[in-house]
Each structure stands twice: as C-alpha cells, then as structure tokens.
Amino acid sequence: MASKATVSPNVDLAKARQHTRRERWQSFRRVMTQNKAAMAGAIIIAAYFLIMLVAPVLAPYDPFEISLEDKLTPPSADHWMGTDDKGRDILSRILYGSRLSIGVGVASVAFGAFFGIILGLIAGYYGKWVDTIVSRLLDVMLAFPGILLALAIISALGPGLVNVTIAVGVFSIPLFARIVRGSTMEVKQLEYIDAIRTLGANDFTIIVKHIFPNVLSPIIVQGSMRLATAILSAAGLSFLGLGAQPPSPEWGAMLANGRDFLFSAPYMAIFPGMMISVLVLGFNLFGDGLRDALDPKLKK
Amino acid sequence: MEPEVVLQVKNLKTYFTTSKGTAKAVDGVDFTLHKGETLGIVGESGCGKSMTSLSLLRLIPSPPGKIVDGEILLNNKDIVTMKEDELRKVRGNQISMIFQEPMTSLNPIIPVGEQIAETVRLHQRLSRKAAWQKAVDLLELVGLPSPEKRAKQEPFQLSGGMRQRVMIAMALACTPEVLIADEPTTALDVTIQAQILELMKDLQKQIGMSIIFITHDLGVVSEVCDQVAVMYAGQVVEHRSARDLFNSPLHPYTQGLLASLPKIHENQEELQTIEGAVPSPYDYPAGCRFADRCQHARAICRAEAPVLEAVGGTESKVRCFMYTEKWETAAEEEEVLCP
Amino acid sequence: MFLFIVKRLVQIVPVILGVTLVVFLIMQMVPGDPAAILAGEGASQETIEQYREDLGLNRPVLQQYVSYVGNVFQGDLGNSLKNKQPVLDEIMLRLPITMELAFYSILITIVLGLGAGIISAVKPYSIRDVSVMVIALLGISLPSFWLGLLLMYVFSVKLHWLPVAGWDGPLNIILPAVTLGLGGAAIVARMTRSSMLDVIGQDYIRTARAKGLKEHFVIYKHALRNALIPVITVVGLQFGSLLGGTVLIESVFAINGLGRMIVDAIRTRDLPMVQGGVLVASLVFVFVNLLVDVLYRAVNKRIDLN
Ligand SMILES: Nc1ncnc2c1ncn2[C@@H]1O[C@H](COP(=O)(O)OP(=O)(O)OP(=O)(O)O)[C@@H](O)[C@H]1O
Ligand SMILES: [Mg+2]
C-alpha cells in the first residue's frame, strides 16, 4: 500500500505520446537541420538532381561527338576532365550521364518499393497463409547473394538499361517488403484500427488510409539507403557491360571503358567513379540522418 | 556516544551537459553516513537520487555527466579526486552497489557464479577455485536454493528475485563498508520485496556494514532506515532520524510526502498529492526550489536560497526558512499563490 | 543444438527449391525457343528437334522442372553451349578460386571491421572515432569496382608493388581481397560500433565497473562478447554481398573465378552455364547462412527459451 506514496506519476510521458503529426514533422525537421551530415547529404543530392536537369546547359561539348584528333587529352582548360579514347569531352559525358545513372537508380528503387510495399502490406495485414507464402518468396529472393539475382534476371531478359532497372528493382523488393510487413503487423494491432473496422471500413481503406501512412517512415529511411546501393549495383552491371551499351555516357559504362586505358589515361576511370562515389555518399549521409531523425529508438 | 562517520558527502554537484543546456541533476547534496547505520534517500522521480548514488562511485555516464564540485569522503579520503586505480579498489570492495533492475544488471552471457567470483578475485588474493567456492557460499548466504547448480547458470535462467539475490551476493562478496542499494526492490513482486528487505537487514547485522537505501517508497523507509535524507530538485531538503521525520516532518515538502501516504486507520477517500510540478533541472528558480508548490511560501523564499541547517541545536537538518530567524521578520507574501 | 540444426536444415529445403525454381525459370523467361537456343546458333531444324526430344523440352513445364531438380541433385547441371562440356566440371575449376578470394576478403572484413568498430566505440566522438567513421562511410560509398581500379593504378601501375591482374601467386590475392573486403569491413565497423555503444550503455556494464574491474576488462570481457552477437548476423549477410561482389572484382582483376564465368556466360548467352553458376553461388550462400545461424545460436543460448 505504502507504494502509493511513490510521488506523482510522470506526466510528461503521457504528453509525449500525444504528439500530433505536425509536431512530429517539426521535430523531424529540427533534428534533420541540426544534423550537419544529413544536411551535407541533402545538399549533395540536390546538386546532382540539379546537374541532371540542366546538363545540356552546363555541358561545354556534345557528349557524343567523336573527334579522334583530340583523343585521350589529359584534363586541361579546354577539357576540364580530359577527353576519352574517341576524343569526346569527359565532363560533358558525365553531365549527360547523370540522367542515366541517377535515373536508373531512382527508377529501380521506385519499382522495388512499389511491389515491396504491396507485398509487405498484404502479408502483414492478412497474416496466416498469405504471410507464409509471401515470406517464403522473400526468403528465396534473399537467398541469392548480392547482385546475383539481378544477373540471373538479366541473363534471361538480355542486357540493357531497362532490364538493369528491373533486375536491380527486383532485388529491392524483399528489403521493402520485410520492413513494411513488420511495421504493418505492429500497426494492425493498435486499438484504433479495430475501432475503424467496427465502424465499417473495408480492408482496402484501412490499409491505404490508416496503415500505410504509419509505415511510411521506415520506408523512407530504407528508400534512401537503398538508393545508394541501387545506384552502385546499376553502375556495376553497366561496368560489366550488361547495362548501358556504348556510346552511352552512363557512369558505370564509362568506367568500364576507362579500365582499358588505366595506364595511359587514368582520368577516364577516375572521374566517373568519383561522381558515383560522391552521390552514393550523399545518399548514405542523408539516410543515416533520416534514420536518426525518424527512429525514436535511437533518439537520446 | 556518536558512532564513527564512514562516508561524508559535502556540496556534491553532478551536472549533465546536453544540447538543451546544463541539467543540474545533483546540485549541492550533503549528507553523513555513520558506521552500521541505514540511511534512506527519498524523493520524487528525477530529483537526483540515482545520480547521487552513482556519483559516490564515480559511475556517472560521461559524457554527458560530470561531477563538477564537492567532496565525497570515505574514511576521510576524497573519492572525487582519487586516482583511477585507487578508485577501483574502492569499487566493489569498500563500497558496492545494487541496482534497481535485476533483469538487466547482470551480464547475460556469463554464468552468475563467475560474475561473483570475478569480483572476489579482483579484490582478494584467491585462486580461481577458492573464488568459485566463495561465490557458491555467497549464493547460499543470500538464500539461493541449490547454489552450486545456480552458480553455473546464466542470468536468463533465474527469476527476478533470484537475480537480485545474486546482485546482493556480488555486492557483499568483499564485505564492503558501505552498500548502496538503488531501489533494490522496485522491480520485484511484493512478497519477494519483503524477502529481499529481510535479507538485507539480516546481512547488515552479520557484516556490520552501512547501507544507503534509495527508494521512493516511504513505507520501506520507515521499516528499514535509521536516518533519512529527503531530496528535492537535486538537493537534500531534510536530513534526520527516521523516527523524528515520521513523527514531525519539518520541511513542507516532507510534510506533503507524508500526507500523501495512505493511513491505515483512517478511511481516506482520496490521497493528498502535492500540487504543481517539479522545476526542471535545466532551469532551477533562484530562491527555494519548492517555493512554487509551498503553501507557506513568503517573499524571501523566492528571493533567497535557503541552506541545509541544523534546527535549534538538534541533530535534525532542514533546508527551509520557516526554521530560521529570518522567518518572523519576513513579510507575508501578498500575491495569491497559483492553485 | 542437434535438433536445431536438423530443424534449420528442413527449413532451407523450400528455400533451395525456390532457388532452383528461379534458376530454372531463367530459361523459360528467355524470349524465343529454348531448344533453338540450346542447340546453338545456326543449328538445323532437325538438330533443334533432336535437342527438344533429348532434353524433354516438349514436356509440360512442371515436369521439366521436376526433372531439372532431379538432375541438379545428381550433380548434372547440363552442358555448356560453347564447348558442350558439363557445366559442373567448369564450376569445379572456378569455384575454388572464388572461394579463396571470398575467404581472404571476409577475413579482411572481419578483422578490419571489428578492429575499427571497437576502436571507435571505446572513445565515442573522439577524433579517432570520427575519422574511423568517416573512412567507414567512404568505404560503403565507393563502388568496389572503382576502388579496385584505383588501387590497381596506385599499387600496380604506379608503384609496381603488386601484379596488375591474374591469379598466379599469393601477391595476386592482395588487391582483389582488399578491394572486396573493405566495403564489408566498413559495414561491420559501423555495426560493431553501434552494437558496442549500445552494450556499453547497458546496466550490466555499469555493474562491471561498480565491481572495480579495469576498463580493459570491462570492454573486452563484458562488453565485446555481448556486442559481437548481433555482428555475427551482419557478417553472415556480408558474405552474401561479398559473393555477389566477386562478380565485379573478378572482372576488374581478370580472375577466372565463378563470378567472371557467370558474366562471360551472360555475354555469350551460354544459359546453362549462367544457371549453374548462379545456382552454385546461391547454394554456397544458403549454407554459409546456415552455419552463421548455428554459430549465432551457439553464442547466444538465451534463444533456447524463446
Ligand atoms: N544522461 C543524462 N543526460 C541528461 N540529464 C540526465 C541524464 N541522466 C540523468 N539526467 C538528469 O538527472 C536527473 C536526476 O535523475 P535520477 O536518475 O538521479 O533521478 P532519480 O531521483 O533516481 O529518479 P527515479 O526515482 O526515477 O529513479 C534527471 O531529472 C535528469 O534530468
Ligand atoms: Mg533512480
């Protein structure tokens, strides 16, 4: 009985739970803007998207124009990043290539997220045998080491950037599906979902309007991290000659081309790789920051 | 005849520097612990009890925490300024601790006997085998059934009560002079609580150690403590013998605490609670920290900070202007206190 | 423990069947007539029909799959379209090379990753920690195939310390293994650090300090062993990306391993070879994961109860 004297219960805790969505957004913004690394990541990403948009304006030369008398010139005032074995301006190619390299990454993650989220929502919401089937399917997809699933898909569909997008996208599906499935199972058990159901909402409304918004933040974190890997994988496949084909200025393909001139013209390999690295770094920085900001477990 | 002083804490200040500012978790704590005595430290959640006890062994997580001022005198040696290796000889040997959470306070992947034996070997020159035997003996001493078998088990195989017994066995391994128990029974069932308290009292008699008993359960305090220090907002506001404190609480905060205790003989409809909120450790008011919640507060309480002083030649100490000469001359507060 | 292993073995059966199904479907997904593809370019209609008959390609798909699985379990992965030799023979030549590369790489991943992670966690937010974490962040951001080229340029082309490419001596292993291991090391380092920091904040570490243990013991006896438990899983997963990464690294350094075999086979549309390579690599990964599971279980007996 005496334990009643345990002095007043913690009121703040109850208040903390009543965070409205807007407060959450504000606190999220505060954490993100205070996190210098995340800001740096955001700036890098923004810069790349800008490059992507205005590439034609920025590019000093035609990225495809061959001029053999200018071939393999080292970086100079005329050609900031030098020229390649066909005399094409590397800077111009890199600027144009941003559209391909970033585009493939974004598209493949969108592809993977779309199917992954649907699978995850369905498995998490319906549970039972539906969940069993979906989970086994995901297990199988995850049983392929690294980019081997993507290789298998490309071997069937044939090389090319579109197929690389699909292949890398398929590889993302299980990652999204797992996260969404877990979060859905948690959210599903909340009382208010029951309440809504008794009010007569159908499964579709519940999933789309009530469960999906609640599982959004882990999806966003995963998406940002996944973009980094997707861009790496897609560039890797093009590097192997399975994605973008010459004369495409895709960065991975440029890198593969540069490999053959590593002795005489290392800048051919250095610049495209640097572009990929910095972009991926940006996504990783941003993803780390997002995770810290959105994952309440990690908050101090 | 006054028993000798084992531990004396003077003006202890432990601050936490965070992005939100400086949290003065412990802000000028004073108390004295005599040989063989049990001192209770009570107070609301967040008033700094745990941080005070952790400071005694310099176990404050740092960063962000730091002892910024004060002395902790163990047999007249200051722990605050002690060298690391000297400090390690105090830890677990002269002063040991039991924590609130028996579930998480033991290493999950090391057999409990080994965790006790490790402490023994650390402070006493004993062989591996002798230390293990001592661990088993200690487990028996704290009343763990089949101690030999249990010693080989890992914490997950033990219940919460058993784990707390293991913690006690570990704390007593080197017959410390001071045992600090930070809410040792809060996480346990009521019946187990009683058993553990009983065990601690028993062992204290056998070993003759002093105990600092931290709790916010006043019922437990009245059962086991000789002396009580009441903490509020990082400071001790009242420090007296338990009997005096329960008979005639001096500080208005203590009075409030006792009034919120359910009384067995009276059929109270509802328990009294103290109105208002604890001030934030990041921003304490200039005067008395309890003034905003105090029904007796006068202007002086907000203007000046009271000090912890003996009341009229007794052993009892209190941090309140009501028991000083200033009180009579202080003007009644004009403004109406907020409800 | 024995029961656990048996249970896990039973559990991976459907996964293995799923993997064979996916690999089997590669052939079905290819546009065009499988028999014509298998017979090779320019084969006469007769030869194509012969192939269809011999390989049972005229049977229902399900039946074909069943016989495919049957063949796989008997070690028959089909014949290469190029030299008509059994795929398995070629794989047996290539696999040891890739496994050797993977072994040294994972060694680098583990040793470097753990070391860096511990160094970071022991003094969080110190200059040492920040620099290690910046390097780790770079490690996960640099494309391995680019890093490989850079290392090759510096150590082989410029300094002449190491051979440029190939797989003829122990010196050849260094660059590819480092390239492949670094990315994983970065991930393991990040994981180790956060796991260590998590553990160091636990109550039982405070208990260990309260006993009077030296900080050294607190970290290595009490913290590290607990912190390693979640890292084991990460290392297991890392082995997967590493196996996948051999595809790229073997191409960079011209190593005739399994990965390069698969890529070459895709280029020359030697489908049975692709199927066999992907299947074997995946099976290796599945079994390594099983091993990791058993290990995880062995160090973390608490799962017994749950
Ligand atoms: N890591 C930290 N960072 C910032 N402030 C801290 C930290 N740890 C503790 N504090 C501050 O110390 C104050 C006192 O905490 P302490 O744990 O000592 O309270 P307590 O009296 O033991 O409460 P309880 O009864 O809940 O155990 C808290 O109010 C908090 O503001
Ligand atoms: Mg406490």
Asked if A255 and C145 touch (Cβ cutoff 8 Å), the reply is: yes
Chain A nearest CA to B332, separation (Å): 29
For helices C271-299 and C2-29, angle between their N-to-C axes, nearest 10 degrees:
160
Residue among B172, B228, B165, B239 nearest B205 (CA): B172
Considering only the beta carbons, identify the residue of C18, C143, C157 that sits closest to A236: C143
CB B50 less than 6 A from any atom of ligand 1: yes
Chain B nearest CA to A293, separation (Å): 15
Chain C nearest CA to A266, separation (Å): 8
Which pLDDT tens digits describe chain B residue by residue (339 residues)? 567 888 999 999 999 988 788 889 899 899 999 988 999 999 888 888 999 999 999 998 877 888 889 999 988 889 889 898 889 988 988 999 988 887 889 998 889 999 999 999 988 888 899 999 989 988 988 888 888 999 999 888 888 888 888 988 898 888 889 999 988 877 777 777 788 888 888 888 888 889 999 988 888 888 889 999 999 999 999 999 998 898 888 898 998 888 877 665 555 555 567 777 788 888 888 888 988 888 888 888 888 888 888 887 788 898 988 888 777 776 665 544 444
Which pLDDT tens digits describe chain C residue by residue (306 residues)? 788 888 888 888 888 999 999 888 887 888 777 777 777 777 788 888 887 877 777 788 888 888 888 888 888 888 887 788 888 999 999 999 999 999 999 999 999 999 999 999 988 888 999 999 999 999 999 999 999 999 998 998 888 888 877 777 778 888 999 999 999 999 999 999 999 998 988 889 999 999 988 888 898 888 998 898 889 888 988 888 899 899 999 999 999 999 999 999 998 888 889 999 999 999 999 999 898 888 888 877 665 443
Asked if C179 and C246 touch (Cβ cutoff 8 Å), the reply is: no
Q: How many CB atoms lie under 10 A from the CB of residue B155? A: 22
pTM over 0.90: no
Give the residue on C whose Cα is nearest the Cα of B110: C222
Write the CB contacts of B187 (distance below 8 Å, at least 6 apart in sequence): B100, B101, B102, B103, B160, B164
> In chain B, where do the E strands start and end?
5-18, 21-34, 38-42, 65-74, 77-78, 95-98, 178-182, 210-214, 227-232, 235-241, 309-310, 317-318
Considering only the beta carbons, identify the residue of C146, C247, C285 that sits closest to A255: C146
Spatial separation of the C-alpha atoms in residues C289 and A140, rounded to whole Å: 13
* B48 CA → ligand 1 middle, Å: 6
Give the residue on A whose Cα is nearest the Cα of B64: A300
Tokens standing for residue B62? 């740092």
> Which helix H or strand E contains C289, and what residues bound it?
helix C271-299
A227 touches chain C (CB under 8 A): no
Identify the residue among A136, A141, A155 best suited for mutation to test binding to C, counting C beta carbons within 10 A and taking the highest: A155
For helices A251-259 and A216-239, angle between their N-to-C axes, nearest 10 degrees:
30
Burial annotation C248-283 (CB, 10 A radius, 16+ → b, else e): bbbbbbebebbbbbbbbbbeebbbbbbbbbbbbbbb
Write down the CATH number for the domain with range A37-298.
1.10.3720.10
* B52 CA → ligand 1 middle, Å: 9
Write the CB contacts of B81 (distance below 8 Å, at least 6 apart in sequence): none
Collapsing DSSP to helix, strand or coil, B310 comes out as strand
Size of interface A-B (CB pairs under 8 A): 41
| Domain residue ranges of chain A, discontinuous segments joined by + | 1-34, 37-298
Contact list, B18 vs chain A (CB under 8 Å): 300
Residue among B165, B229, B192 nearest B9 (CA): B229
Spatial separation of the C-alpha atoms in residues A164 and A244, rounded to whole Å: 8
In order of B299, B330, B337, the CA distances from B334 in angstroms are 8, 12, 9
Chain A nearest CA to C236, separation (Å): 11
Place of tokens 């998480």: B104
- φ/ψ region of C305 (left if φ > 0, alpha if ψ in -120 to 50, else beta) reads alpha
CB B234 less than 6 A from any atom of ligand 1: no
Which of B20, B27, B47 to mutate for ligand 1's pocket (most ligand atoms within 8 Å of CB)? B47
Which of B49, B53, B54, B237 to mutate for ligand 1's pocket (most ligand atoms within 8 Å of CB)? B49
In order of B226, B243, B254, B274, the CA distances from B248 in angstroms are 15, 9, 10, 18
Q: What is the pLDDT of residue A10?
A: 39
* B280 CA → ligand 1 middle, Å: 11
* C206 CA → ligand 2 middle, Å: 14
Residue among A93, A65, A90 nearest A76 (CA): A90
Q: What share of chain A is helix, strand, coil (3-state, %, to 5)?
A: 75, 0, 25
Tokens standing for residue C205? 């570490």
ipTM of the complex: 0.87
Asked if B156 and C305 touch (Cβ cutoff 8 Å), the reply is: yes
> If you take atom 3 of ligand 1, which residue's CA is the nearest one?
B16
Write the CB contacts of C182 (distance below 8 Å, at least 6 apart in sequence): C108, C109, C112, C139, C144, C147
Residue among B111, B122, B220 nearest B166 (CA): B111
- φ/ψ region of A127 (left if φ > 0, alpha if ψ in -120 to 50, else beta) reads left
Q: How many CB atoms lie under 10 A from the CB of residue A241? A: 18
